[in-house]
């Protein structure tokens, strides 16, 4: 049973606003920070179930501002690949225990920061030409899987789309469309597995306004806020929460 105390809301409100900002303006990659933050005080499965309806609400709120600005072939490849990825995530979820999810979510957080640092330090480089179409399906499958188990599908999608050379707004719009569909695909299995509860539903109702505020801020920030500062804060947050989750899982 969820405890709606001051600690819960002190973590949940900024986490949800942050997820909305990331999904609304910065390609969704860092939106999964909300799940590790909530998993500090909730069971990982409960955190996943709480966040999905809020992420879907952000999807709906941000779909309009980016309507038809996406790259249709790229979105189609990612979405088609995501279908088996979501199915694979559902199969793994039945076999995993909470500590495995803590370890997985924490590891993804640390790996994401490490990847971004490697790119910024030019230790790795994106290809100068687009990936072949099959790579879009693979990226979508990876995104569907990681999104199902930890709401962390942003990185594989970002890697593929950056290689495609999309403009800033096309990149964002394609991300919004892709995860709108992926999150719809996840909803049925989540409900069937009992990941949603009355407590997560009540929490979602209380946190929904903050998700919408985050989405609105994200759309506004898409053209106004320097990404470097925004993601510098994100990386620090992900390292701290990811490290704590790994420690708890291994301990």
> Quick one: tokens of 8?
């819960």
**pLDDT on residue 56:** 94
Helix count and strand count (H, E) for the chain: 10, 0
Return d(Cα 149, Cα 127) in angstroms, integer: 29
Residue appearing with tokens 């009992």: 194
* Total-model pTM: 0.80
Contact 78, 160 (CB under 8 A): yes
Residue 5 has pLDDT above 90, yes or no: no
**pLDDT on residue 62:** 93
pLDDT digits (tens, 9 = 90+) for 150-169: 787 777 787 788 777 777 78
Q: What is the mean pLDDT of residues 195-216?
A: 92
Do you know the residue count of the chain? Answer: 251
pLDDT digits (tens, 9 = 90+) for 52-101: 999 999 999 999 999 999 999 999 999 999 999 999 888 887 776 667 77
Return d(Cα 167, Cα 180) in angstroms, integer: 20
**Mean pLDDT, the chain, whole residue set:** 83
Residue 126 has pLDDT above 60, yes or no: no
In this structure, the dihedral spanned by the alpha carbons of residues 181, 34, 243 and 143, taken in order and rounded to 10 degrees, is: 10
Angle at the Cα of 40 (from 206 to 183), degrees rounded to 5? 55
**pLDDT on residue 129:** 62
Residue 106 has pLDDT above 60, yes or no: yes
């Amino acid at each position: 049973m969820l405890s709606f105390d001051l600690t819960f809301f002190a973590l949940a409100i900024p986490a949800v606003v942050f997820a909305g900002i990331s999904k609304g303006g910065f390609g969704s990659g860092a939106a999964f920070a909300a799940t590790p933050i909530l998993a500090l005080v909730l069971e990982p499965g409960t955190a996943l179930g709480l966040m999905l309806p809020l992420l879907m609400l952000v999807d709906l709120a941000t779909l309009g501002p980016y309507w038809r600005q996406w790259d249709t072939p790229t979105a189609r490849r990612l979405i088609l690949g995501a279908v088996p990825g979501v199915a694979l995530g559902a199969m793994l979820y039945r076999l995993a225990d909470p500590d495995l999810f803590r370890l997985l979510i924490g590891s993804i957080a640390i790996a994401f920061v490490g990847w971004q640092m490697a790119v910024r330090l030019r230790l790795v480089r994106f290809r100068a030409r687009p990936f072949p179409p099959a790579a879009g399906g693979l990226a979508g499958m990876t995104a569907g899987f990681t999104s199902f188990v930890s709401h962390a599908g942003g990185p594989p999608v970002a890697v593929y789309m950056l290689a495609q050379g999309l403009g800033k707004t096309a990149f964002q719009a394609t991300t919004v469309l892709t995860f709108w569909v992926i999150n719809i695909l996840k909803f049925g299995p989540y409900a069937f597995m009992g990941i949603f509860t009355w407590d997560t539903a009540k929490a979602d109702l209380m946190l929904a306004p903050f998700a919408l505020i985050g989405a609105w801020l994200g759309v506004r920030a898409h053209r106004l806020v320097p990404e470097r500062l925004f993601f510098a804060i994100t990386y620090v947050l992900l390292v701290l929460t990811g490290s704590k989750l790994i420690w708890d899982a291994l301990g």
